[in-house]
Structure 1
Amino acid sequence: MTASVSETLPHWDMTVVYPALDAPEFNRDLVAVRQAFDDMTALFDRLGIDRRDDQATDNTALAAFDTVIAALNDLLERFTTLRAYVYSFVATDSRDDRAQAALSLLMQDSVKLTKLSKRLTAWIGGLDAETLIQRSAVARDHAYLVRRAVEEARHLMSPAEEELAAELDLSGGIAWTRLYQNLTSQMMVPIERDGQVVELPMSQVRNLARDPSREVRRHAHEAELAAWERAALPIAAALNSIKGQVLALGRRRCWATPLDASLFDNGIDRATLDAMMHASREFFPDFRRYLRAKARLLGVERLAWYDLFAPVGGGGRSWQFSDAEAFIVAQFARYSPRMGEFAARAFRERWIDAEPRAGKVGGAFCMSLRRDESRILVNHDSTADSMFTLAHELGHAYHNLNLAHQTMLNRDTPMTLAETASIFCETIVRNAALQEATRDETLEILEAFLSGACQVVVDITSRFLFETALFEQRAARDLSVAELCTMMTDAQKQTYGDVLDEQTLHPFMWAVKGHYYSSGFSYYNYPYMFGLLFGLGLYAEYQRAPEAFQAHYDGLLASTGLASPLDLAARLGFDLRAPAFWRASLEVVRKDIDRFEALVDVV
């Protein structure tokens, strides 16, 4: 289903920040922020913020810490707004040369920020952290940052090497990332539609995976694969280069594996990851049971890859954007007036860009803009799944709202906790939609959730396996397009088992998923599984004791940069190292699979 031609899908409003990219106000602030980075570097030099083994945690160090943290928080506030403003143009039209040029300038400042961050971490690592926290109110407010800095400092190269690595990243990993993003956002795919061959943006072609017609889905799948194959060589070069850089720097920083560095970045340990992955694998038979039930519903012996997102329940409600807006605002308000007013504000102030179009990136995301404001990108169609995606991204924005009173350094939330509010808000809306749904609508809603949960648990496991194999083999040499495709389909076979037609798997999923293409984040996949299951666990707690949960939930969201996921979960009575916690969350999914299967098999 597609949006009605009579409904104009919104574009986000960025004029509240600056009138335009060529506005004098924007250029003034761009120059000022770029100068502020140079001033910050001079401040670091003057105060001796660098690695030193003989430094004392004395009054001079305390004063330096307080001064640097205050200045850095202020700079981050200004820089974040500028970067989000510029990226809003790049994300919605990657062919915008003015925006791309401005983003390139800001990427150079990102390198300066990385250098400053490494210097600060190394300097804190040479202090007595507990003395610093005890004697400085600013350090007490940033105690989690201080303690993590001491640990991270053990994995830093020399100051000269860290500075060189940051500079080279601009023409290394960051450049490869931009190549990938620009290339894939501008891909036009030839495809037959209504007897004619037309060219559509890749995002629109991938949306055809939700078309009711199996023939349309098949044609779209084949056209998509052909397009990825044509573009595979530069994309593979980007992937090999990024992963090679991650491996080289990881070795120099004494990380045993890229996964160990990723676990540190995400604030969890291997025991937590193993408990979650073990519990998830236990539930693979249930996900396969869901996929077999969907095959029966579609009248096929075995699902093809292009059937994974096929709509079911025919005749279900069409969720135009205005309908989705009204429903989401109402359900958020049922949870709490504060959440309802927040959602209404997001729509009223035009925080959302919803129209799929050429040059716009695919998928969906939410980014913090300034203070308590966010901006949300979606590619809306009129399916229930699209409505739930909108609720999900609004959940991210609600998380940003609760973080707004924290300093910028204390807003830094690990990916493992970044999905906490989004999953919770999506679940609120989905369960509300189920309460007033017909049988066909119930099937559609359950399918929207289960297909997403299957992606986050089963498919993300395949992506985790792929990335593990990728790092192991890339340590020896570059990998060819054919090798990457084989690794990808092998991982899909290990996770989906025999429920999918092996002739229709997606060998280019390594090219589809932008999560692989960042030199700053490896293993960008498992945090989504963590987020889904942690969010479902929180929702179950909300159902058990609504008033007690509501009294603490916003505070939890406000604290995601102040403590590790393990510690925050422990405050709620959850042990993340125990498979039992993850099994309890997966039981929520299993109940929906049971319900879906029962509806499918009703004669």
Structure 2
Amino acid sequence: MSTTARLPHWDMSVVFPGLDSPEFEQGLSQILGDIKELSVLFDKDQIGATPTPPTLDNEFVQNFEWLVDRYNAVLNQVRTMSVYIGCFVNTNSQDNLAQARYSEFQRGLIQLSQLGIRFTAWVGSLDVEALITASSVAREHAYPLRTAREQAQHLMSPTEENLASELNASGGSAWSRLHGNICSQLSVALEVDGETRDYPMSAIRNMAYSEDRDLRRRAYEAELDAWKRNAVPLAAALNSIKNEVNVISRRRNWETPLAASLFDNSIDRETLNAMFAAAHASFPDFRRYLRTKAQLLGVEKLAWYDLSAPVAKESKVWEFDEAASFIVEQFGSYSQRLSDYAARAFRENWIDAEPRSGKRDGAYCAGLRADESRILANFKPAFGGMSTLAHELGHGYHNMNMAGRTPLQRMHPMTLAETASIFCETIVRHAALSQVEASEQIALLEASLQSSCQVVVDITSRFLFEQGVFEKRQQRELSVDELNELMLDSQRQTYGDGLDEATLHPYMWAVKGHYYSTGRSYYNYPYMFGLLFGLGLYARYQRQPEEFKQSYDDLLSSTGMASAAELAQRFGINIRSEDFWRSSLDIIRQDIDLFEHLARS
């Protein structure tokens, strides 16, 4: 019996019975009150930039440790509440109560954001190294304190920072919510099997995986038409967000938004340049993969709507329950701890897997509380659907390993956020490839290469696009046509002759929510870092499995406590060297070689 008709929804009742429950009302009131109390404490202790560094005597150290403990406690509460409300908004953007609760909670988030800026400015005024020597709590938070000290050099005046955070609620954050609400509520009319009906955008985009090329083409054309009809407000949102980021970055004395992004992601320009140089060198190999896929599909050149097309019929249909069992079993080939974690996630209903109207597209994992996460997916009964589950469970495993850390210690960069997800996804892929016949291997291998192509080739195009938007937005707003042309030019530079230039996707800037964030500019390149760093770690695991296992979980627990370069060095990796990135891409090249061999066979 197919399980796709009864895909699970996540269980949020373990936190509160519902958004309309007295328990939720009490919890929200408690958190908002705790934020206000923290603000009073900050005022009392004059937390903020101070012209004269305070004397680090015993009284100061005790007050510092108590304040950090209280600040961490509030951050823990806020994380749970934020994820709880977000789970309702993200699975039903038409839930007016959830939207209202989010708006109500946002008042507290603004105040907490302002306190965070004051805390950073205060740390920047201290002799951090002397404090680390004098305080055990400071030593435990050495990396976040040193990072805050550096970040403090890029803060505006307290008045400007407060104003910026208050205006963001009706500025960048509001534009971001507008994008999310429009996209989650988009309805697209399409004829399928002789019947015309409205489909949510997530379902239309899932048709890119269909075996029927005509259906893929018509879904692609219907999708483009839907984006075209909604392009004006989405372009307004993108223009407004990028202008806000430009202004704030300039006011904070960052050379560019990219410079701020590199700092936030715990890497330097040398590392980024090395990674992109290796990526560009791999484009001929990815184009070779795309040409091979075109041959298997019997077309002269791939169209955009062929990128996700299956090259061979998967004889195996991965229903949700079967996918869950396979993941639990294969995670066990690495460690019982990883397997037990995945089993718990499925058993306790941490996953919302059903695609439906009002639910946001794609997939993500969010840490809810302690070692517990919530995973949003739009599951399809194929290897790709299972692979996505394994990937998001990897994020959850990462969260579990950080459960013993404080919120300040858990604030890890996006570059390291993909470390466990890529690792877990690779475990499942290798296991699946080893258990099927050669005729089935090509389908699974292609699904993996399809994902790698997205993360290396397409993400490079997204980086080029975003870089172009930031530069041009310094002069004026960009029209829909200009955004489209920037997107197309970025795709031409990266996909090259691997795709039919007449069927690229000009509205990918509207599709990807990653562009619509004021807090995380250049959201895309960390995914490439994560893929290639994760593959590099997996290669080391294959060479020295037992030695690797002794250090890996500690690495995951420490991703907010050292720079990416320092953590990589624990495994003998130099991320500033193009050679490392090429070695990770060599793993993908080997898959492309095997794909070509299987295609010829």
**1:393 has 2:392 as partner:** yes
Q: How does 1:163-178 map to 2 (within 5 A)?
A: 163-178=162-177
In structure 2, the partner of 1:247 is: 246
Amino acid at match of 1:361: R
**1:425 has 2:424 as partner:** yes
Note the C-alpha offset of 1:437: 1.1
Helix, strand or coil at the partner of 1:171: coil
Helix, strand or coil at the partner of 2:497: coil
Instruction: Give CA deviations for 1:435-483 in whole Å, capped at 9, x if unaligned.
Output: 0112232111111110000000000000000000000000000000000
| Gaps in structure 1 of 5+ consecutive residues | none
**1:19 has 2:17 as partner:** yes
Instruction: Give CA deviations for 1:297-322 in whole Å, capped at 9, x if unaligned.
Output: 00000000000000122143111101
Instruction: Give CA deviations for 1:475-521 in whole Å, capped at 9, x if unaligned.
Output: 00000000000000000000000121111100000000000001101
Helix, strand or coil at the partner of 2:189: strand
Is 2:291–2:498's contact at 8 Å kept on the other side of the alignment? Answer: yes
Is 1:423–1:536's contact at 8 Å kept on the other side of the alignment? Answer: yes
Distance in 2 of aligned mates of 1:156 and 1:316: 57
Instruction: Give CA deviations for 1:408-448 in whole Å, capped at 9, x if unaligned.
Output: 11111100000000000000000000001122321111111
Is 1:353–1:376's contact at 8 Å kept on the other side of the alignment? Answer: yes
Tell me which moved more, 314-323 or 204-213: 314-323
Distance change (3 Å), C-alpha of 1:57 and 1:185: farther
Is 2:4–2:320's contact at 8 Å kept on the other side of the alignment? Answer: no
Is 2:330–2:431's contact at 8 Å kept on the other side of the alignment? Answer: yes
Note the C-alpha offset of 1:5: 6.6
Distance in 1 of aligned mates of 2:55 and 2:124: 11
Amino acid at match of 1:367: A
Distance in 2 of aligned mates of 1:571 and 1:428: 22
Distance in 2 of aligned mates of 1:297 and 1:6: 29
Amino acid at match of 1:521: R
In structure 2, the partner of 1:42 is: 40
In structure 1, the partner of 2:525 is: 526
Amino acid at match of 1:168: L
Distance in 1 of aligned mates of 2:16 and 2:120: 34
When the two chains are superposed, the root-mean-square deviation of aligned CA atoms in Å is 1.0
Distance in 2 of aligned mates of 1:5 and 1:75: 40
Q: How does 1:505-544 map to 2 (within 5 A)?
A: 505-544=504-543
Is 2:415–2:530's contact at 8 Å kept on the other side of the alignment? Answer: yes
In structure 2, the partner of 1:151 is: 150
In structure 1, the partner of 2:270 is: 271
Helix, strand or coil at the partner of 2:475: coil
**1:298 has 2:297 as partner:** yes
Is 2:258–2:521's contact at 8 Å kept on the other side of the alignment? Answer: yes
In structure 2, the partner of 1:54 is: 52
Distance in 1 of aligned mates of 2:593 and 2:207: 28
Amino acid at match of 1:417: L
In structure 2, the partner of 1:357 is: 356
In structure 2, the partner of 1:117 is: 116
In structure 2, the partner of 1:226 is: 225
**1:583 has 2:579 as partner:** no
Instruction: Give CA deviations for 1:183-222 in whole Å, capped at 9, x if unaligned.
Output: 1111111111122321100000000000010001001000
In structure 2, the partner of 1:415 is: 414
Distance in 2 of aligned mates of 1:129 and 1:206: 50
Tell me which moved more, 9-18 or 59-68: 59-68
In structure 1, the partner of 2:191 is: 192
Distance in 1 of aligned mates of 2:575 and 2:278: 11
Is 2:3–2:319's contact at 8 Å kept on the other side of the alignment? Answer: no
Structure 1 segments of 4+ aligned residues over 6 angstroms from their partners: none
Amino acid at match of 1:228: W
Is 2:92–2:359's contact at 8 Å kept on the other side of the alignment? Answer: yes
Is 1:279–1:582's contact at 8 Å kept on the other side of the alignment? Answer: yes
Amino acid at match of 1:551: Q
Amino acid at match of 1:588: I
Tell me the matched-pair count. Answer: 600
Amino acid at match of 1:29: G
In structure 1, the partner of 2:569 is: 570
Note the C-alpha offset of 1:53: 1.5
Distance in 1 of aligned mates of 2:315 and 2:118: 56
Distance in 2 of aligned mates of 1:549 and 1:499: 38
Note the C-alpha offset of 1:68: 1.7
Is 2:278–2:578's contact at 8 Å kept on the other side of the alignment? Answer: yes
Give the structure-1-normalised TM-score.
0.98
Note the C-alpha offset of 1:571: 1.5
In structure 1, the partner of 2:201 is: 202
Instruction: Give CA deviations for 1:263-293 in whole Å, capped at 9, x if unaligned.
Output: 0000000000000000111111000000000
In structure 1, the partner of 2:131 is: 132
In structure 1, the partner of 2:600 is: 601
Q: How does 1:402-551 map to 2 (within 5 A)?
A: 402-551=401-550
Is 2:93–2:359's contact at 8 Å kept on the other side of the alignment? Answer: yes
Is 2:568–2:574's contact at 8 Å kept on the other side of the alignment? Answer: yes
Amino acid at match of 2:437: T
Instruction: Give CA deviations for 1:380-421 in whole Å, capped at 9, x if unaligned.
Output: 011111110000000000000000000111111100000000
In structure 1, the partner of 2:100 is: 101
Distance in 2 of aligned mates of 1:314 and 1:448: 12
Distance in 2 of aligned mates of 1:25 and 1:326: 35
Amino acid at match of 1:50: G
Distance in 2 of aligned mates of 1:386 and 1:205: 16
Amino acid at match of 2:409: N
Is 1:308–1:451's contact at 8 Å kept on the other side of the alignment? Answer: yes
Note the C-alpha offset of 1:533: 0.1
Is 2:3–2:321's contact at 8 Å kept on the other side of the alignment? Answer: no
Note the C-alpha offset of 1:23: 1.0
Distance in 1 of aligned mates of 2:439 and 2:363: 27
Amino acid at match of 1:453: S
In structure 2, the partner of 1:84 is: 83
Note the C-alpha offset of 1:105: 1.5
| Gaps in structure 2 of 5+ consecutive residues | none
Is 1:316–1:440's contact at 8 Å kept on the other side of the alignment? Answer: no
Distance in 2 of aligned mates of 1:315 and 1:591: 22
Is 1:515–1:525's contact at 8 Å kept on the other side of the alignment? Answer: yes
Is 1:57–1:127's contact at 8 Å kept on the other side of the alignment? Answer: no
Q: How does 1:281-320 map to 2 (within 5 A)?
A: 281-320=280-319
Amino acid at match of 2:43: D
Amino acid at match of 1:67: W
Is 2:53–2:127's contact at 8 Å kept on the other side of the alignment? Answer: no
In structure 1, the partner of 2:331 is: 332
Helix, strand or coil at the partner of 1:375: strand
Amino acid at match of 1:327: F
Distance in 2 of aligned mates of 1:327 and 1:436: 11
Is 2:409–2:560's contact at 8 Å kept on the other side of the alignment? Answer: yes
Amino acid at match of 2:24: F
**Residue from 1, 23, 29 that aligns with 1:31:** 29
Distance in 1 of aligned mates of 2:436 and 2:313: 13
Is 1:122–1:153's contact at 8 Å kept on the other side of the alignment? Answer: yes
Amino acid at match of 1:295: A
Distance in 1 of aligned mates of 2:483 and 2:225: 16
Helix, strand or coil at the partner of 1:56: coil
Helix, strand or coil at the partner of 2:267: coil
Tell me which moved more, 426-435 or 97-106: 97-106
Is 1:206–1:220's contact at 8 Å kept on the other side of the alignment? Answer: yes
